[in-house]
Structure 1
Amino acid sequence: MIKNVAIVAGGDTSEWEVSLRSAEGIKNFLSGTPYELYEVIVRGSHWYCEKDGKQYDVDKNDFSILMGKNKIKFDFAYIIIHGHPGEDGCLQGYLEMMNIPYSTCDVLTSSLTYNKYACKEFLKSKEICLAKSVLISGEDTGTERIKREVGFPCFVKPNVGGSSFGVTKVKEEKDLQEAIQTAKKECEEVLVEEYIAGTEISCGFCRIGEKIDVFPILEIVSETEFFDYEAKYNGKSQEIIPARISNNLTERVKELTKNVALWMNLKYIARVDYIIKGEDIYLLEVNTTPGMTAASIIPKQIKAFGKEVKEYLVAIIEDASKRKNA
């Protein structure tokens, strides 16, 4: 039976546009597979499907659409929302209640990794290198704590979210409060992290069952102050595969990535970002819903691994469907 696959995109954050681009990428990668593809756009309480130039409202009672007299129930959800509600566990919770298989980590893991501070607190128990940080919320300006515990320069960022929206590199104390207010436009909680000078790398992988394929490590060389939106999406960076680090560091990063996947119950396609300083590996972030355009990091890593993105997407759909129906 042909599966009806919903590619779920959009969301309620500044990453809306990035998500739509990733959805287009997923559609292209799945072209020629034995699935009927539907793009489902989520924006607040309005969920709709765009198919053949027409728009159909999604019935959230059973995750379906009505096309004329034909009721189409979706058999699988490929989640490509960057941010709320697709990256933080909310959409995963809905799909669990509907008993519909999906393409990401479960509710708990998605929620934990989306909250940068909570993720770091969890990983502290694993005795790995992490940037010193301070969490700011409410009316607290945090200036004295930041000076004492983090120092300058530092990064000020929303505690949730991605694509570098609301992120500022602060070099002096006088610019701190403006950066905090910028971050608060994206999220009420603000994370302030120490700046670590080093080589920025990203290690993507795909975990299906107990098998983890760790892809070649990618090095990021940004032409801007840091790896911001311009660098990520408008060509203001070089992405070098394999990363120009020693064989020893390469193996250590790959082993650490595998361990992070196991510790946090990560599955399917995900990515862990690091800074290399000397021989130390600092973990920056865990991304459970990475970008999937042709220009995104994961597709480049998969190509360098000698595989096709399509192979992994089909394997994910089939594995998640099998597990849900077991």
Structure 2
Amino acid sequence: MKKNIAIVMGGYSSEVNISLTSGNVVYNHLDKEKYNSFRVHILKEKWVALDASDTEYPIDKNDFSFILNGNCVAFDCVFNAIHGAPGENGMLLAYFNLINLKHTSAPFYQMALTFNKRDTLSVVKEYGIKTAVSVYLNKGDVVDLDKIIAKVGLPCFVKPNNAGSSYGISKAHTKAEMLPALEKAYKEDAEILIESFLDGPEVSVGVIQYKGAIKVLPITEIVSENDFFDYEAKYEGKSQEITPARISEEIKIKVEEVAKKVYSILNMSGFSRSEFILVDNEPHFLEMNTVPGLTENSILPQQAQAAGISLKELFDNAIESALN
């Protein structure tokens, strides 16, 4: 008997449209012979399931079911394709946990932890993982720019603590650029992370659970046409994403080991894509994405393809891992 799968997409953040794109790719590639899959839009104004003709059916939040042609459709598993809140920050996963509904992401605490850049860095540092020097601010804090610059130096990165897809991030080259950068970041989040500039190649590493084991996918080298890997570089073609990365076998092994260690330290499961800067051939961890982009052109699917894993296999494995 076919399993009923909800592909949740949308969300409450600036990444809503990116999530809808990812979710539709998952929907199009899931095995229709194996699953009854439904797109479910989780939006601020509504939670609705969609049929093949895009007719909307309200989701009953008591048990995450809906009525189709007079019959109640209950789900066996949820495929989480929500970037940002509430899918990537743990909120929705905690709800699924309460109603005993299986899903493809890590447990809600791990999702909440990894969505918070500061807290993630605090954990991995204790295990000897190299990171940038950073300063943390809450909205309303008194800002001493001279003190911040003395610690992190210039240029530096100013970013929202809880956000994705490079929304709200700036690279400040001078003291005069710091306050506008803070204002931009505060539009996305009430918590800010200011980090020292790490000078070196950027690489992105997908680590997933695949067929019951932790698997490190081929590494991607990021070459941005812009000053850094910002939204334009990520989504509007202003970068090269080279898979496999142009690094030596020695450095490749080192990056793989660190990425796998970070995945294990954070008690992760399901999908992840971590970003590193190579400083003097040493990987410095930036952040982890637990609901990475899932379109055909996104980095993690590119890496899976390089590993010989099709999107159909990648998504099917996520569901089977969740169900089992």
Is the contact between residue 208 and residue 267 of structure 1 (CA under 8 Å) also seen in structure 2? no
Shift of 1:310: 1.6
| Residue number in structure 1 paired with 2:302 | 300
Correspondence for 2:288: 286
Q: Tell which deviates more after alignment, 310-319 or 150-159.
A: 310-319
Question: Does the 8 Å contact 1:134/1:145 carry over to 2?
Answer: no
Superposition deviation, residue 210 in structure 1: 5.3
- Superposed CA deviations along residues 29-80 of structure 1, whole A, max 9, x for unmatched, are 2144411111111112621112122111100101001123111111111011
Bigger drift between 45-54 and 75-84 goes to 45-54
Where do 4+ consecutive residues of structure 1 move more than 2 Å? none
Matched position secondary structure for 1:212: strand
Percent identity between the two aligned chains = 39
Secondary structure of the residue aligned to 1:269 is coil
SS at match of 1:257: helix
TM-score, structure 1 length as denominator?
0.96
Corresponding residue of 1:110: 111
Task: Say if 2:10 is the partner of 1:15.
Answer: no
SS in structure 2 of the partner of residue 268 of structure 1: coil
Distance in 2 between residues matched to 1:80 and 1:194, nearest whole Å: 31
Residues 242-278 of structure 1: per-residue CA shift (max 9 Å, x gap): 1111111100111111111111111122111101122
Q: 1:209, CA displacement in angstroms?
A: 7.4
- Map 1:250-289; keep pairs closer than 5 Å: 250-289=252-291
Matches within 5 A, 1:39-58: 39-44=39-44, 46-51=46-51, 52-58=53-59
Cα separation, partners in 2 of 1:96 and 1:142, compared to 1, 3 Å: farther
1:156-195, aligned counterparts within 5 Å?
156-195=158-197
Mapped to 1, the partners of 2:34 and 2:212 lie a distance apart of: 26
**2: CA distance between counterparts of 1:110 and 1:308?**
25
Q: Deviations over 1:67-101 (max 9, x none)?
A: 23111111111011111100011111000011111
Q: Contact 1:136–1:142 at 8 Å: present in 2 too?
A: no
Q: Which residue does the alignment assign to 2:134?
A: 133
Q: How far 1:146 sits from its partner (Å)?
A: 1.3
Q: How many residues align?
A: 322
Task: Write the distance in 1 (CA, Å) between the matches of 2:258 and 2:83.
Answer: 24
More moved, 282-291 vs 313-322: 313-322
Letter of the structure 1 residue corresponding to residue 176 of structure 2: K
Which runs of 5 or more residues in structure 2 are unaligned? none
Aligned equivalents of 2:40 and 2:217: distance in 1? Answer: 29
Question: Partner of 2:121 in structure 1?
Answer: 120
Aligned equivalents of 1:202 and 1:122: distance in 2? Answer: 20
User: TM-score, normalising length from structure 2?
Assistant: 0.96
Q: Secondary structure at the match of 2:271?
A: strand
Deviation readout 1:98-151 (Å, 9 max, x if unpaired): 111101110111011000000001111011210000011132224133112111
State the alpha-carbon separation in 1 of the partners of residues 307 and 243 from structure 2. 10
* Letter aligned with residue 291 of structure 1: G
Question: Judging changes above 3 Å, is the alpha-carbon distance between structure 1 residues 176 and 6 closer, same or farther for their aligned structure 2 residues?
Answer: same
Which residue is equivalent to 2:24?
24
In the alignment, what sits opposite 1:201?
A: 203
| Equivalent pair of 2:211/2:317 in contact (CA under 8 Å) | no
Matches of 2:82 and 2:105, distance apart in 1: 11
CA RMSD in angstroms comes to 1.3
Unaligned stretches of 5+ residues in structure 1: none
Paired with 1:53 and 1:163, the residues of 2 have a C-alpha distance of: 27
